[in-house]
């Protein structure tokens, strides 16, 4: 991601320069006076040639063709830079989507772990309540403490298994 970000700035700078050159070539092609002044050999031989009327003579067709060729090349550079910039932006979006997908998967597994932990916590709470040193009448021996132990253990195990089954069901139904 950092590599793409470091490429983005030079591409934007390059795009600005290409746009500026393209604009300059377009302005030059539209201004025949400037095109006349680019004929340096004629201007060197006769410095006052275009002093009064810059539109007096026809523009050199070779010069105009050459500048139009450069203008077309600049248009091609603009297209290439635009495609490069779009490619970088598309790659950034793809990486962002993949990171979001992985983040969502991680959140789902965290939720599953929280459901299992809640089930185990409920079971632990129940067994902790019965494990406290409180008088509840079962220590007198009138009722079988073995039956109470089995009942509490059964409830704890059932709650833990139900929480695990809920997570498995949610995973199979693609909720998690």
Which helix (H) or strand (E) element contains residue 121?
helix 61-131
Tens digits of residue pLDDT in 135-157: 666 566 666 666 777 777 788 78
Q: How far apart are CA 21 and CA 12, in angstroms?
A: 14
Q: Check: CB of residue 85 under 8 Å from CB of residue 1.
A: no
Q: How far apart are CA 19 and CA 29, in angstroms?
A: 15
Q: Is the pLDDT of residue 116 over 70?
A: yes
DSSP 8-state symbol, 51: S
Domain around 13:
2-172
**What's the structural domain count of the chain?**
1
List of residues 6+ apart from 79 with CB closer than 8 A: none
State the CATH number of the domain containing residue 34. 1.20.58
Percentage of residues in the chain having pLDDT higher than 90: 14
């Amino acid at each position: 991601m950092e590599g793409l970000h470091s490429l983005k700035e030079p591409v934007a700078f390059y795009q600005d320069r290409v746009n500026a050159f393209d604009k300059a070539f377009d302005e030059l092609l539209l201004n025949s006076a400037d095109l006349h002044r680019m004929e340096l050999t004629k201007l060197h031989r006769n410095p006052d040639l275009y002093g009064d009327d810059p539109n007096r003579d026809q523009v050199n067709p070779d010069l105009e063709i050459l500048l139009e060729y450069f203008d077309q090349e600049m248009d091609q550079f603009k297209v290439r830079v635009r495609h490069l910039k779009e490619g970088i932006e598309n790659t950034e979006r793809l990486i962002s989507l993949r990171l979001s997908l992985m983040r969502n998967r991680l959140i789902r597994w965290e939720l599953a772990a929280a459901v299992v932990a809640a089930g185990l916590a409920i079971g632990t709470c129940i067994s902790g309540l019965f494990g406290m040193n409180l008088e509840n009448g079962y220590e007198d021996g009138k009722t079988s403490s073995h039956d109470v132990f089995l009942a509490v253990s059964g409830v704890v195990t059932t709650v833990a298994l139900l929480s695990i089954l809920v997570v498995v069901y949610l995973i199979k139904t693609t909720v998690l």
